Amino acid sequence: MKILIIGATSAIAHETAKCFAKDGAELFLVGRSSEKLESVQNDLKVRGAKRAESYVLDISQLDRHQEMIEAAIESLGGLDMALIAHGTLGDQRLSQENVTKTLEEFTTNCTSVISLLTLLANYFEPRKRGCIAVISSVAGDRGRQSNYVYGAAKGALTVFLQGLRNRLAKSGVAVVTIKPGFVDTPMTASVRKGLLFASPRKVGEGIYHAMLKGKEVVYLPGFWRLIMFVVKSIPEPVFKKLSM
């Protein structure tokens, strides 16, 4: 199994990568920090990865995506799967005051992913097999005042993935939309943890299974499907008055 993982130093992606490493997979890890990548790479090697290569890239440099994907393909001798897991949980308030900040958030969480997806789709489509998994978010299911910039980026991503899944279905390429709820990771370090928080391990393992099965849309943990069903069914006149 040859897998490209973008945002490989994220806690969730690392947990998924551990599952693949245990199976003896070959991994190509992309991340921003070379020190962190090295830590993750060494860990996955000890855990049984047949190979773990790393590639340093700031994903907001869209013009370097092609080059990175080519490097991954060349290094591993092809790709079977790709997991896109990078993202930032920006400060909603800062984004409200500063449009540059908003657009930066969009670049990281949406535009950069769309760029990667386009390139990867064109790689997998003619090969008629493969799997592309992307970490979106439950935040993309409905815009809320507390984080609608992040939510909108993830929401756009979710719709893009729907379309892409539709397009690639006839080629036998799976497109997996992953919608984690609250996860206890460095990304949420400053947030107070409640009962709804799941461990990165649980979510990471969920992604691994969803990728192997080529599922469509997975909520992780599963109960979020129900929560978001309720959140989505509240009529807008009521919803706009809630403080969510």
Partner 1 sequence: MNFQNTTGRPHSWGRYPKVRHSQVQSIYWRNELPDLAQLEETTLPFAYGRSYGDSCLNAGGVSLDVSHLQRFISFDEKTGLLRCESGVSLAEILEVMVPRGWFLPVTPGTKFVSVGGAIANDIHGKNHHRGGTFGCHVTCFELMRSNGERLLCSPEQNSELFRATIGGLGLTGLILWAEFRLKPVVNPYIDIDHIRFASLDEFFAISAESDVDFEYTMSWVDILIGGENLCRGIFMRGNHNQSPELARKPMKKRLPLVVPIDFPKFALNSLTVRAFNELYYHAQVPKRVHKIVSYDPFFYPLDSIHNWYRMYGKRGFLQYQFVVPFEGSHEAMREILGRIRRSGEGSFLTVLKEFGAIQSPGMLSFPRPGLTLALDFAYGGPKTLRLLDGLDSIVLQSGGAVYPAKDARMSAAAFQTFFPRWKEFAAYVDPKFSSSFWRRVTDGVFVEDEKSQELVNI
Point out which residues bind partner 1 (CB under 8 A). 11, 22, 33, 35-36, 39-40, 42-43, 46-48, 184, 186, 189, 192-193, 197, 199, 201-202
Least distance to partner 1, CB of residue 44, Å: 9
Complex with partner 1: residue 134 or 183, whichever CB lies closer: 183
What is the three-class DSSP state of 51?
A: strand
Nearest residue to 157 (alpha-carbon basis) of 224, 218, 107, 211: 107
Q: What are phi and psi of 197, to 5 degrees?
A: -75, 135
Least distance to partner 1, CB of residue 45, Å: 8
CB atoms within 10 A of CB 8: 28
Helix axes 148-168, 112-124, angle to 10 degrees: 10
Complex with partner 1: residue 33 or 145, whichever CB lies closer: 33
Strand intervals (E) in the chain: 2-6, 26-31, 51-56, 81-84, 131-135, 174-180, 217-220
User: How many CA within 13 A on the CB side of residue 124?
Assistant: 29
Least distance to partner 1, CB of residue 40, Å: 7
Least distance to partner 1, CB of residue 46, Å: 4
Least distance to partner 1, CB of residue 33, Å: 7
Complex with partner 1: residue 29 or 161, whichever CB lies closer: 29
Cα–chain center distance at 202:
15
Least distance to partner 1, CB of residue 11, Å: 8
Complex with partner 1: residue 11 or 138, whichever CB lies closer: 11
Complex with partner 1: residue 102 or 185, whichever CB lies closer: 185
Complex with partner 1: residue 44 or 176, whichever CB lies closer: 44
Q: Hey, which residues does 51 pair with through a beta bridge?
A: 26
DSSP state of 166: H
d(CA 167, CA 174): 10
